[in-house]
Structure 1
């Protein structure tokens, strides 16, 4: 296997594990049962603590720890992940879990469009077709939010999707290791949540769940997902965020009996079908490329 293919496989594995870990984020937020600012403060402070401890141990043991914020690109990525964190957390409390994760899945479209514009990574016709179908699906979901009064939460989810996509594309363009950047980016949400908590007090019934989320789940998920663009393309990384799209509503339905509306499910089904078809097409194309390379290098 060539070095390029080995790196690509490594990137796929890392982002797959990160995406799977991310699927339990929303259930843990809901299990904590608190107000948005208290949970934002606890989650951000736990994540920052975990990031700093891991980074210090890494530096002490291996001496090759990546920088917390690598240069100007790192600052831009940190700012975007801060926006993502605030938008995502607020959206949890203003729209349904299904709407939130379905709309955040739109980050794939944003990442593809931004990669096309800024990195000149022109998408192929099947990708453009999948994007068109996804736009229709998101329109159905957002229309449901407008009719049910959850439009504000849906807009917050769109903001999170756009900021995630921008962070992925900047990471990809820089080629720098951004593994720790989204973790230390929680400083801004921490300060915002802390300011509100200082005035109104901490209101979380089961803080254990949100501390577990911040100390373990978020560091693992975002470190791996932020490392992915070093090895694979932005649209590929964005697709692994879609594991949350499929699994988070299932966990929430099993634990809290939160059932999505029929319109939300219809839009989600269309979106997931488009993404699945596109992923299968990408897999087929990858196999064809590998077969062609093997023939060229055959003795």
Structure 2
């Protein structure tokens, strides 16, 4: 996905994406580790961590924390509907799916990213992006068609 990118900005973006993927992996494993308890507070805690990290980045790069009313409204809508609702549903689903399958299914969202930017922004995807999407689609389809999901133990009469 990053093979055709070069320069300092692309490297910083790739490192940020790697950090995001690492954080999401830690979150997924933590959800599965604590699946017997209530893990919705972990979603709240992840938001607190995100605020702290964002503040550190903004202060470190001397960026303003002030948003226009329009940008603030967009940020609030995305925070409530896109991020929070998605993470709550992901957390609830983590009780019944293995971590690897949970993470694989979450990548289905990534498949539609190039479509949305093409439809709404007119951006075209590179060949490497399409190849990466095909690999993800093949992995998701292969997992769904393989029937290798963990089966619950049979119920036996006492």
> Normalising by the residue count of structure 2, what TM-score does the alignment of the two structures yield?
0.74
C-alpha deviation, 1:157, in angstroms: 1.4
Matching residue within 168, 189, 192 for 2:50? 189
Q: Distance in 2 between matches of 1:239 and 1:190?
A: 26
Q: Distance in 2 between matches of 1:201 and 1:186?
A: 17
Matching residue within 175, 197, 202 for 2:66? 202
String of CA shifts for 1:205-227, please: whole Å, max 9, x gaps.
Answer: 73222211112322211111122
Q: Distance in 1 between matches of 2:13 and 2:41?
A: 28
Q: Distance in 1 between matches of 2:64 and 2:135?
A: 42
Structure showing the higher helix proportion among its residues: 1
Which fold has the larger relative contact order, with Cα–Cα distance below 8 Å and residues 6 or more apart in sequence? Answer: 1
In structure 1, list runs of 5 or more residues that go unmatched.
1-140
Aligned residue number for residue 266 of structure 1 = 131
Q: Distance in 1 between matches of 2:80 and 2:145?
A: 35
Aligned residue number for residue 13 of structure 2 = 153
Deviant stretches of 4+, over 6 Å:
none
C-alpha deviation, 1:201, in angstroms: 4.9
String of CA shifts for 1:112-139, please: whole Å, max 9, x gaps.
Answer: xxxxxxxxxxxxxxxxxxxxxxxxxxxx
Aligned residue number for residue 41 of structure 2 = 180
Q: 1:262 to 1:147 in 2, by over 3 A?
A: farther
Q: 1:152 to 1:163 in 2, by over 3 A?
A: same
C-alpha deviation, 1:238, in angstroms: 0.8
Aligned residue number for residue 217 of structure 1 = 82
C-alpha deviation, 1:234, in angstroms: 0.6
RMSD: 3.2
Instruction: Count residues in correspondence.
Output: 151
In structure 2, list runs of 5 or more residues that go unmatched.
none
